[in-house]
């Protein structure tokens, strides 16, 4: 007798593995290029300065995250930044500013970048004060040093839901709790069963 397969529920938080075919040459350089291209990238790319104020900073404020802005010297996202964006996903908003002098002059002036020779530069905008920024002062951009620097500003646990924007005073919240308690007690009194 034919029995149809049951769909199994996936455990929450698990991701499905994706199998990719590699049809290139079997040389180390070609395989490395393929793997770097296939890496997931969770960085927001900023092409125009308006994108930062209209898209990225409001998104960071909505979830209560700090913003890490990378000003790379090359137009391509490095594999190390892709890795860090995966590590700090939902704990820190990673933004990559595309190196274009014509469009990014305004951002370069704001963050104190005088020329392209200064690049790459990493800047963190804390979640509590978006008017100030902290610049990474290290000379080398090694994975361990960047990870240590970014972990200071990242949240401890991933944020999945937007922050609650409603603000209530403590008096209002206590009266609301009292009202809810009174309602629940009256509901408890109304329930009466006889056999």
pLDDT tens-digit map of 27-74: 999 999 999 999 999 999 988 888 888 999 999 999 999 999 999 888
* 90-133 pLDDT tens trace: 999 999 998 876 777 888 888 888 877 788 899 999 988 878 89
Encoded tokens for 114: 């005088």
**Predicted structure pTM score:** 0.70
**Residues composing the chain:** 195
- Which of 14-23, 89-98, 151-160 has the least mean pLDDT? 14-23
- CB burial string 102-120: b at 16+ within 10 A, e below: ebbeebbeebebeeeeeee
DSSP E strand boundaries for the chain: 44-46, 67-71, 93-97, 121-125, 134-135
Question: Between 169 and 4, whose confidence is greater?
Answer: 4
Q: Smallest Cα–Cα separation from 119: which of 141, 103, 134, 102?
A: 141
From first CA to last CA, the distance across the chain in angstroms is 50
């Amino acid at each position: 007798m034919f029995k149809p397969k049951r769909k199994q529920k996936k455990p929450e938080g698990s991701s499905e593995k994706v199998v990719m075919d590699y049809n290139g040459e079997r040389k180390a350089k070609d395989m490395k290029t393929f793997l770097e291209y296939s890496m997931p990238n969770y960085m927001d790319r900023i092409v125009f300065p308006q994108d930062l104020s209209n898209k990225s900073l409001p998104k960071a404020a909505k979830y209560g995250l700090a913003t890490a802005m990378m000003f790379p010297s090359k137009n391509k996202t490095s594999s190390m930044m892709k890795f860090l964006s995966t590590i700090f996903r939902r704990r820190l908003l990673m933004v990559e500013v595309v190196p274009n002098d014509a469009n990014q002059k305004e951002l370069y002036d704001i963050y104190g970048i005088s020329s392209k020779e200064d690049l790459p530069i990493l800047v963190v905008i804390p979640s509590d004060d978006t008017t100030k920024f902290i610049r990474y002062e290290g000379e080398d951009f090694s994975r361990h040093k960047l990870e240590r620097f970014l972990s200071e500003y990242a949240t401890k646990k991933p944020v999945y839901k937007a922050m609650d924007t409603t603000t209530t005073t403590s008096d209002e919240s206590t009266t609301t709790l009292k009202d809810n308690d009174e309602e629940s007690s009256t509901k408890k009194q109304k329930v009466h069963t006889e056999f």
